[in-house]
A = this chain, B = another copy of it.
Amino acid sequence: MHDTDDTAAPTNRLRVACGVFGCAGAPGAADVVYHGLHALQHRGQEGCGITTYLDERFINERHPGLVGEHFSNGPLCERLPGQFGIGHVRYSTQGKSVGRNLQPLYADLPGQSGLAIAHNGNLTNARALRELLNDRGSIFTSESDTEVLLHLAAHSDELRIEMRFLDGLRQVEGGYAIVALSANKLMAARDPLGIRPLVLGWMQDTGTPVVASETCALTQVGARFDRDIRPGELFVTDGDSHKSYEITPPRPARTCAFEYLYFARPDSVVDGVQVYSARKTMGRILAAEAAVDADVVVPVPDGGVPAALGYAEAVGVPFELGIIRSHFVGRSFIAKDQSARTRKVHMKHAANAAAVAGKRVVLIDDSIVRGTTSRKIVELMRKAGAREVHFRSASPRITHGDYYGIDLSDPKTLLARTHPTDAEMAAALHADSVGFLSIDGLYQAVCDAPRDPARPQLSDHYFTGEYPTALTDRDAGRADRHHQLSLLEEVD
**Interface residue? A114 (CB, 8 A):** yes
Shortest C-beta distance, A372 to chain B (Å), equals 19
Cα distance, A135 to B89, chains bound together (Å): 32
Q: Considering only CB atoms, which chain B residue lies closest to A334 in the complex?
A: B75
**Interface residue? A243 (CB, 8 A):** no
Interface string of A305-334 (1 = CB under 8 A from B): 110010001000011110010111111110
Supposing A206-B339, A352-B276 touch, asked if A485 and B106 sit within 8 A by C-beta, the answer is yes
Interface string of A266-299 (1 = CB under 8 A from B): 1101000011110000000000000000000000
Shortest C-beta distance, A260 to chain B (Å), equals 12
Q: Is the CB of B140 within 8 A of A350?
A: no
Shortest C-beta distance, A302 to chain B (Å), equals 8
**Interface residue? A481 (CB, 8 A):** yes
Of B45, B98, B111, B220, which one neighbours A346 at CB under 8 angstroms? Answer: B220
**Interface residue? A72 (CB, 8 A):** yes
Cα distance, A107 to B108, chains bound together (Å): 16
Residues of B within 8 A of A486 (CB): 57-60
Interface string of A153-180 (1 = CB under 8 A from B): 0110000000000000000000000000
**Interface residue? A465 (CB, 8 A):** no
Stretch at the interface among A31-39, A249-257, A440-448: A31-39
Residues of B within 8 A of A482 (CB): 108, 112
Of B28, B45, B274, which one neighbours A354 at CB under 8 angstroms? Answer: B274
Size category, A interface: 35 or more
**Interface residue? A14 (CB, 8 A):** no
Shortest C-beta distance, A379 to chain B (Å), equals 13
Shortest C-beta distance, A132 to chain B (Å), equals 10
Of B219, B313, B490, which one neighbours A350 at CB under 8 angstroms? Answer: B219
Residues of B within 8 A of A57 (CB): 484-486
Q: Considering only CB atoms, which chain B residue lies closest to A489 in the complex?
A: B62
Q: Considering only CB atoms, which chain B residue lies closest to A355 in the complex?
A: B276
Q: Is the CB of A484 within 8 A of B329?
A: no
Q: Is the CB of B141 within 8 A of A67?
A: no
A 444-464 contacts with B by CB, 8 A: none
**Interface residue? A105 (CB, 8 A):** yes
Residues of B within 8 A of A9 (CB): none
Q: Considering only CB atoms, which chain B residue lies closest to A69 in the complex?
A: B329
Q: Is the CB of A328 within 8 A of B267?
A: no
Q: Is the CB of B488 within 8 A of A354?
A: no
Interface string of A69-105 (1 = CB under 8 A from B): 1101111100100000000000000000011101001
**Interface residue? A27 (CB, 8 A):** yes
**Interface residue? A240 (CB, 8 A):** no
A-B contact pairs, 15 of them (CB 8 A): A41-B328, A57-B485, A57-B486, A60-B489, A63-B490, A68-B328, A72-B332, A75-B333, A99-B99, A205-B339, A205-B342, A219-B351, A222-B339, A277-B355, A309-B321
Residues of A within 8 A of B (CB): 27-28, 31-32, 35, 38-39, 41-42, 45, 56-64, 66-70, 72-76, 79, 98-100, 102, 105-112, 114, 134-142, 150-151, 154-155, 203, 205-206, 216, 219-222, 265-267, 269, 274-277, 305-306, 309, 313, 318-321, 324, 326-333, 337-340, 342-344, 346-347, 350-355, 481-482, 484-492
**Which 9 pairs across A and B sit closest by C-beta, in order of nearness?**
A490-B490, A68-B329, A137-B155, A107-B139, A274-B354, A267-B352, A72-B331, A276-B354, A205-B339
Q: Contacts A57-B485, A60-B486 known; list 6 others, CB within 8 Å.
A: A42-B326, A58-B485, A68-B331, A106-B485, A222-B343, A267-B354
